[in-house]
Amino acid sequence: MTGDRIALAVHDHGGDGPPLLLLHGAGRTLADWAAVAPLLVARHRVLAVDLRGHGLSPSGPCKLPEVLGDIEDVLKEYGIPDALPVGHSLGGMLAVLYALEHPGVTPGAVNLDGFGWGRPDQYVGLDPDDVSQHLAEVRELSAAGPGRELPADGLKNLLAEQRAMSDRLGIPYELLEAGVLRAVRERDDGVLELRPGREEGQQMRSAMDSLDLFDLFRRTTAPLLLGRARRPVPSVPGLEWFDAMMAAYAEGLARDLAALAAERDDVTVTEIDATHAMLLENPRAVAGAILGFTSPRGSSQAS
């Protein structure tokens, strides 16, 4: 670590061609890209990183300037300052921010389902005040994840949950297991906890919630690929209103993305046949969308 910068953990997948930097979502790790990256290396040099406080990267304040500075340092260290940032969820937001801050150097950005919870007015047909109230409940539930301590059998039980998820969603168990093992760390007191830590997780969520994403999209002059999940996120037990609210948001998000694409020829909007967990559920569709965007026909970045 140097000053506010952190030396991130990097997986160099190799490959030839224009470089790509793969960025994972909040509370995830570079292991999420394990099935996607091999599909990209025939046409691209591919790196994936653990963001600060995640996976095997050191801890540190999870604020946007520092996180973006870490990314810049990785690209400088590997001699690829012109890499295309490709991100999922939080990583997609970071990819757009990075392109916005490095005009003329970064050739564009790929944001895969990195739209957060949106604005209350994007929930078509619902009262914005009701939406705001429900979103507060969702955010409170999500706050319990980062820094979660695991009891004695916690890791075993967590992996059993991943096995059940693998059977239910058809995701290879090895992908889920690798992500969990990379996200669990043993503290100095011997207790296992899930990364990022609680404070880092709160900072990351606050940073995400502070972004006006469609303003960022419009201010970014480089080409953008904006990928949206076609299938809804799974229901949340106990929240009977959740499914209807997510359907209303999907409608508003699709409307606003279509309007943005109509405004700009260099904005490509695509649907991925998967839920938000698209990197694990449908890596081939994800890779296909990225390669379509980076082809000479798909964007200004030749491959």
How many other CB atoms sit within 10 Å of the CB of residue 188? 5
Neighbouring CB atoms inside 10 A of 148's CB total 17
Q: Position of tokens 């091999």?
A: 38
State how far Cα 66 lies from the chain centre: 17
The H-assigned helical ranges of 102-241 are 128-142, 154-169, 173-183, 198-209, 213-219
Task: Lay out the sheet containing 109-112: strands in order across.
Answer: 10-14, 45-49, 19-23, 84-88, 109-112, 224-229, 267-272
Mean pLDDT of the chain: 92
Residue 261, pLDDT > 90, answer yes
pLDDT confidence of residue 300: 42
Q: Please tell me the distance from the alpha carbon of residue 78 to that of residue 90, in angstroms, as a whole number.
A: 23
Segment 248-270 shows an average pLDDT of 97
Rounded to two decimals, the pTM is 0.94
How far is Cα 249 from Cα 196, in angstroms, rounded to an integer? Answer: 28
- Confidence at 298, pLDDT banded by 50, 70, 90: low
* Residue pair 86/23 in contact by the 8 Å Cβ criterion: yes
Q: In this structure, what are the phi and psi dihedrals at residue 232, rounded to the nearest 5 degrees? A: -75, 160
Query: Residue 11 — φ and ψ, nearest 5°?
Result: -110, 115
| C-beta of residue 84 within 8 angstroms of C-beta of residue 203 | no
Phi/psi of residue 72, nearest 5 degrees: -60, -40
Amino acid at 300: S
Which homologous superfamily does the CATH classification assign to the domain defined by 10-127+197-294?
Alpha/Beta hydrolase fold, catalytic domain (3.40.50.1820)
Tokens 């296992």 locate to: 192
Residue 163 token pair: 């096995």
Q: Quick one: what percent of the chain has pLDDT higher than 90?
A: 78
Q: Residue ranges per domain, the chain?
A: 10-127+197-294, 148-194
Residue 18 preceded by cis peptide, ω within 30: no
More reliable by pLDDT, 3 or 78: 78
Strand partners, 216: none
pLDDT, tens only, 171-221: 999 999 999 999 999 888 888 889 998 889 889 989 998 999 999 999 999
Q: The tokens 């190799």 sit on which residue?
A: 14
Please compute Rg for the chain using Cα positions: 19
What is the 3-state secondary structure of 96-128? HHHHHHCCCCCCCEEEECCCCCCCHHHCCCCCH
